[in-house]
Amino acid sequence: MRFFITLILLTSLNQFSDGQDNTQIGLPEGAIARLGKGGINIMRFSPDGKRLAVGTDIGVWIYNVEEGTGTPLYTDIPGQVNALAYTDDGKVLASGGTGNPSIQLWDLESNTKLTDFSLGGEYKYAVALVFKGKILLCYEKGGKISYWNIDSGFISSELTRFRGNDSVVFSPSGNILTGTDSIGKIHIYETSTKEHYSILQDVEERKDLLCVAFSPDEKIIANAGKQKTIRLLDYNENKVISSLEGHSADITCVAYSNDGKLLASGDANKEIIVWDTVKQKERIRLKGHRNTINALAFAPEGTPLYGMCLASGSADGTIRFWHPSIDKELVTFASGHNEWVKTIAFDKNGSILVSANFNGSVDYWSLKSYREISTLYESECDYASDVTFSPDATLFTCHGFKGYKVIFNHGRFGYSIQILDNFAHKAVQLWSLPTGKELIGPWNNTTSHELVLSQNTQKLAVYESNNIRGWHVETGVELFNIDIGDTRFIEDMKFSPDGKWLALDESSEKLKVWNVATPDNPPYISKYQAKAFAFSPNSQIIAILSQGNIYLEDINSPADDEPKSITTNLYGLFSKGLVFSPDNTIVVASRESIMSMSSKIKVFDVESGEEIVSLSGHTEPIESLVFSHDGKVLASCSHDGTILLWDWDKISKK
């Protein structure tokens, strides 16, 4: 095996950086800018190794490896990219994935779209792709295999009987399709002979397989997942030829080198192991990522500068290149591919937006250049259960965990969790964002199920063990301690803009609202159980999303008054995405559809109750909606790892 890596290579690789500003390319109607590149789902090197295609939660990024620059390729319909395939000459890339009812063909010389192949419906999308000469094979969600002629754009044949619905991949030649099911079966389909059979492998032990890869000679299938062991399966002989053990957490991705002599595996505990497949033993461990490994890919052998390097994409937002024979990271090749932005806030003068990620790190964005300026890593953890900013973006508070690993479900909404032996709560932390320093106070002795800061930044409230405790941020004096009794799952907690009221949303109960000046008095109890809620800017009205309607309740009105309602038909999953416009005339809500894997922002007129507009752009649930202080910009953040800035003047005029 040859490695074309020298001291010159190490120097040149470390000069790599992301290139041009791409925040205003491929924007949905009404949007001003997109911040972030989306979480990484899949990575593929071109046959000549000059390009690295990265499928993310919002589109495809094409990186020129020698120059280190990246260009996004966005589709007209927002969708994830979970499937990629190159033509043999590497000049055309096919892409598809969740929420996108078509396959895109891209000209990589010009980075432009050649055509779309429609899959025929809103709920249909590509799971796996491969080229066989002029034929593009596509496995669709639900079991259909389509054979597309790329010259004519028509399907030459199709089959609908493949039953491996998870971790579906084609072999390098496209001759074989394999996928797993929920009970441990690995299904094999030969695309040339169109014969299907299945292998029953370790039914009791091999459930929840997360990743599958073919060896280059297509004789071996490597499969791994929640059992933390890689099995090398000779599918012709229907037997396991080796079990590779060494990971301490769920294995999330596997990849073979082009000569088949190396196998790389990544896990939820941020570790990569490179295995010698000839000796069937561990070769080296690579450490440096700060969160779950999402995707792995080897560069082709013999390509300029980086032959046989290993590329790894992580939930920490970075792509890194490694020498696969020594514990050496060559370069952090790209950054900004964050998973799951949980909350956002504008500073008062409108020059900075801050965002908090699922791992507790905070990114600072310039609203003039739309570029990331810096990151606060001191608050970082494996998983941040609760994060919030003060509305003026001067304070950030966070509660999280160590040893609590997040595994993102590429190809569908959501994530799963693995708790390791070193699991531990981190205490509630409060940070001054202008200085980047932690503010020490009595909150450091608590853990949290929910926390919130008041608009005037004077109050911090923490829900813990059936109590809500509140402190004055500057003095640390306890302001209230509310015993709320035996509760179930807490969905959300918010202060009113004037800081007088504190509302708590418990999943199985109606919304409760306390006057924090008289916390011992009984709370106001809403008439409806909330899926989401928001205070009006004047602190008088609470908007409650419930049973497909938004109810506007006046806190000071008699209990028997029937609140005004807006019919929205917003059913399904909801996050904390509900907010009033600054002038009280419009209410904005988010909607997630599990069936079509889409996320939309719905805008309603308060007086008439009519829907004004529906905004599309995010591909996963929307976590938060926030207005700038001058009311000109609406910002939305999502599980897809991005923030969209919307021109509110144009939207509201509709």
Give the HSE-up count for residue 8: Cα atoms under 13 Å, Cβ half-sphere. Answer: 4
Say if 374 falls within a structural domain.
Answer: no
Say if 362 falls within a structural domain.
Answer: no
For 589-616, give the DSSP string. EEEEETTTTEEEEEEEETTT--EEEEEE
User: Containing domain of residue 626, as a range?
Assistant: 536-654
How much is the pTM?
0.92
CATH number at residue 598: 2.130.10.10
| 159: number of Cβ within 10 Å | 15
SS3 for 22? coil
> What does the pLDDT read at residue 55?
97
- Encoded tokens for 91: 């000049």
On the 0-12 / 13-18 / 19+ scale of CB atoms within 10 A, 292 is buried
Integer Cα distance of 299 and 306 in angstroms: 7
Integer Cα distance of 584 and 567 in angstroms: 18
| 577: number of Cβ within 10 Å | 27
> What does the pLDDT read at residue 595?
59
Strand stretches in 87-219, DSSP E: 92-97, 100-107, 112-118, 126-132, 135-140, 145-149, 154-159, 166-170, 176-180, 185-190, 195-200, 209-214
Residue 381 near residue 371 (C-beta atoms within 8 A): no
Q: Within the chain, which residues score under 50 in pLDDT?
A: 1-20, 203-204
| 593: number of Cβ within 10 Å | 16
Say if 395 falls within a structural domain.
Answer: no
Say if 341 falls within a structural domain.
Answer: no
- Encoded tokens for 586: 């419009």
Integer Cα distance of 597 and 450 in angstroms: 28
> What does the pLDDT read at residue 4?
33
Say if 352 falls within a structural domain.
Answer: no
| 34: number of Cβ within 10 Å | 25
Residue whose C-alpha is closest to residue 578's, from 565, 591, 590, 566: 590
> What does the pLDDT read at residue 260?
95
Say if 116 falls within a structural domain.
Answer: yes
How far from 425 is each of 401, 446, 449, CA to CA, in Å? 5, 10, 11
Say if 627 falls within a structural domain.
Answer: yes
Say if 194 falls within a structural domain.
Answer: yes
Give the HSE-up count for residue 116: Cα atoms under 13 Å, Cβ half-sphere. Answer: 13
Residue whose C-alpha is closest to residue 224's, from 193, 259, 255, 188: 255
In sequence order, the 6+-apart residues with CB closer than 8 A to the CB of 152 are none
Last residue of a domain, one of 286, 315, 334: 334
Tokens 């792709």 locate to 129
- Encoded tokens for 293: 């490994």
In sequence order, the 6+-apart residues with CB closer than 8 A to the CB of 200 are 184, 185
Tokens 């709370």 locate to 523
> Domains in the chain: how many in total?
2
Strand stretches in 141-238, DSSP E: 145-149, 154-159, 166-170, 176-180, 185-190, 195-200, 209-214, 220-225, 229-234
> What does the pLDDT read at residue 570?
77
Task: Tell me how far the alpha carbon of residue 47 is from its chain's centroid.
Answer: 28
> What does the pLDDT read at residue 567?
87
